[in-house]
Amino acid sequence: MSKFVLSCTTCATRRHELDEISECFIHAPRAGYKAWGVAGPLFQTPGLMQWANYDLLNRRAAEAGLTRCTEVYGRSFPTGSVAEAVAAARDRVLVFEAAEKLGSPLVVMTGRERTPGGMGQPSRASGAAAADREQTYPAGSGAALRLADPVS
């Protein structure tokens, strides 16, 4: 048995006119996935996670044949100033609570793009370059750095 888990994150089924979580639950099992990860508006929009029905999400995932949630993506962690980061802390705590409720061992949050002048300075980097610098935080343990997975 492989130690690797093939997981379909909801952003893989993102289309603006449809709910990406529902779409993931439809299409991921048809493509052979047994695990899923969650991202998207529910987890990216401030204040929405507190209203999520995690029991329903877990039930719908199981009904679709998805046996585990592998990661929960939260909003970028603000790095413009300490005050900005402190103000965003409660929303970031909700991401970890969501991971616990979904049985996910991994929370993924990114920061702003790196800038030559440091925090809060204008950036010349592109969004694609930032995607290669994702930081991941295993729920309940220390921080780790993971480069974005290659697309095949």
Write the pLDDT tens digit of every residue in 11-33.
Answer: 888 887 778 899 999 999 999 99
pLDDT band at 133 (very low <50, low <70, confident <90, very high): very low
Mean pLDDT score across all residues of the chain: 78
Give the count of beta carbons closer than 10 Å to the beta carbon of residue 40: 19
Pairing between strand 135-138 and 144-145?
Answer: antiparallel
pLDDT tens per residue, range 48-69: 889 999 999 999 999 999 999 9
Given its phi and psi angles, is residue 91 left (phi above 0), alpha (psi -120 to 50 degrees) or beta? alpha
pLDDT band at 118 (very low <50, low <70, confident <90, very high): low
